Structure 1
């Protein structure tokens, strides 16, 4: 019997045709592809969502919405508009501030002499900051340049808180804030001028008797400009006394420190009456006009470059030589002259102009003619 033929078994080998290096490259390729797909999906997601949302609202809900890109553009535009509005507002605010600053008066050179009208200011209008400001603004609106504030009168009273020792008995019960007045007046474009009566002072004469005109023959008594105090007699400071000259100068110094760079001195003179009972002490043979000229020169030298000093005299002292001066004001060395007119008396304009011209010919550089309330340059 023939042998049965057996089929040969085919041996199968499960061997990969990829090498190790090829496998690694394949894995890296798959990883890179996955990263690329994810990146594209990430970048496309906003637009896909935008399209889906827009489709939902327009097709399903029958509403129309701007796309997210349009909304973003709108937000950016809004932000730019807000920024522009803010910049515009800041610019407008800056312009308003500049306009307000430009509307303020230019700073005034305190010692400079300027052409302009004068006005005497009542102390009752200077009681507090608000009234000082209101008064200054009113004067400025009226075109006033110089505001004369009477801070020491011929009764010897001082209307600010003076700390000068010889003025200890002279300060009035009611005083004003001189520094505040000077400051506000300057801010409002005015030239503040302190008015100070010099030698006609019946108060300081008793505070420091060495400053006063003595009663001849008895040093215990002061000379009075009338028979006695009951008859209205008052003591005077002595223009020959160095202490009196120092006292007046110290008041000017004090007011300068308060902000007054211009001061108008009045009563720079001797008493009207003359008598053998007046004792002026050692005069050195100097006459009245010589002594007053020396006093004026001393004050001018002391305050040169710091304070502009004016000297006020009545028109009667400018039209003829009187015993109170011994000469015309301009002959005493007065450079800045204020001629005061008697209240209620009409003046001949031609004669007044002639008087002003004569004062200038004799050496006065600036002349102001004023009545009890106002004054003007000539």
Structure 2
């Protein structure tokens, strides 16, 4: 039997070809790879879940997720993290915000509220104007009335209208400052002007005045020895223009509402009164025409009130020719005689009667009752 040579055993040694440094790097690389995979899985998880949920409901359950209820949308918005909300705030605040424009207050609007007369002597300086305005506002007053031309014809501001420029006023105010400060304090500034009862204006320009027939001087409402006074002529275009010019000045100064008193003829009538060419127009028709001139001139830019006595409102008088409402007055101030007063029921009846006669807004001034609204 043949014998084969005995094979030599090969001795094997376990030897690593990696150095220690290489092993460390390999371990770090594996760890980084694991972290990257975990991070990717973390980021992808919501999308995978969304996809799986969408697939489940749209394919398996046959539901439309886009038609989800508002309540679900609200719940999801509430569930947003505070961090995301905080992150969005700087971006939102950095955007240019639109300018908020406060609508201008309509000074010609008629609102409910009480009225009061402001003392002209307290309106000469800004501080005293503001103090007077604050006092009126604290009393609940809404309309603050300032007499800027009285029945003697005195004009209490520096008018540029020629017939008023030489007015012998011992007190003058700045109407623009009065109107502005009153408005700042929440009041509606109202200028009061006496119209045709104006001896100062009549003397300043005879073309505006009632003449004396056959004479070169002015008609007086009483004997000169009894302190009779001349009047402006309601038939004279110059007189109507003069009053309109004063309204215009005060409107420019900031007064958007005005009370006109004495839009009337003198109470006394005489054959000696010379009104010039009247063309047969009655007193009532002439007053209507004068009012129409002012209303057309100022339109909606100025709210005009006309002030008359209770007697002129309730019945026909020589001063108007008809009750006041029949002149076409829309905004009426009724003056109750200081020697008498009216009950609340009587005032309500008066307002109702004037409203039924065509007046749109009625204010009753009853000084004895302390009522002016």
Residue 172 (str. 1) matches residue 169 (str. 2): yes
CA distance in 2, matches of 1:115, 1:163: 34
Match of 2:136 among 131, 139, 143: 139
Unaligned ranges ≥5, structure 2: 1-101
CA-CA distance at 1:106 after TM superposition: 9.5
1:243 aligned residue: 238
Unaligned ranges ≥5, structure 1: 1-104
Q: Are the aligned partners of 1:106 and 1:189 in contact in 2 as well (CA < 8 Å)? A: no
2:298 aligned residue: 303
2:259 aligned residue: 264
Q: Are the aligned partners of 1:368 and 1:375 in contact in 2 as well (CA < 8 Å)? A: no
- List structure 1 segments (4+ residues) > 3 angstroms apart after TM superposition: 105-108, 348-352, 371-377
1:222 aligned residue: 218
CA-CA distance at 1:203 after TM superposition: 0.7
2:364 aligned residue: 369
CA-CA distance at 1:360 after TM superposition: 1.0
Q: Write out aligned runs for 1:182-201 (5 A).
A: 182-201=179-198
Q: Are the aligned partners of 1:120 and 1:149 in contact in 2 as well (CA < 8 Å)? A: yes
Residue 212 (str. 1) matches residue 229 (str. 2): no
2:229 aligned residue: 234
Q: Write out aligned runs for 1:279-290 (5 A).
A: 279-290=274-285
SS of match in other structure, 1:160? coil
CA-CA distance at 1:133 after TM superposition: 0.6
Residue 315 (str. 1) matches residue 310 (str. 2): yes
Q: How many residues align?
A: 271
Q: Are the aligned partners of 1:108 and 1:189 in contact in 2 as well (CA < 8 Å)? A: no
C-alpha RMSD of the superposition: 1.7
- Deviations along 1:119-148, one digit per CA (max 9) or x if unpaired, are 111112212100101111111121110000
Q: Write out aligned runs for 1:104-183 (5 A).
A: 108-183=105-180
- Deviations along 1:209-232, one digit per CA (max 9) or x if unpaired, are 0000000112x110000022x211
Give the structure-1-normalised TM-score: 0.69
SS of match in other structure, 1:310? strand
SS of match in other structure, 1:312? strand
Cα 1:287/1:342, change in 2 over 3 Å: same
CA distance in 1, matches of 2:168, 2:295: 25
Give the structure-2-normalised TM-score: 0.70
Q: Are the aligned partners of 1:117 and 1:144 in contact in 2 as well (CA < 8 Å)? A: yes
Q: Are the aligned partners of 2:116 and 2:372 in contact in 1 as well (CA < 8 Å)? A: no
CA-CA distance at 1:338 after TM superposition: 0.4
Comparing 106-115 with 261-270, greater Cα deviation is found at: 106-115
CA distance in 2, matches of 1:140, 1:351: 28
Q: Are the aligned partners of 2:115 and 2:372 in contact in 1 as well (CA < 8 Å)? A: yes
CA distance in 1, matches of 2:181, 2:133: 7
Which structure has the larger Rg over C-alpha atoms?
1
CA distance in 2, matches of 1:223, 1:145: 40
CA-CA distance at 1:345 after TM superposition: 1.8
Match of 1:329 among 304, 324, 343: 324
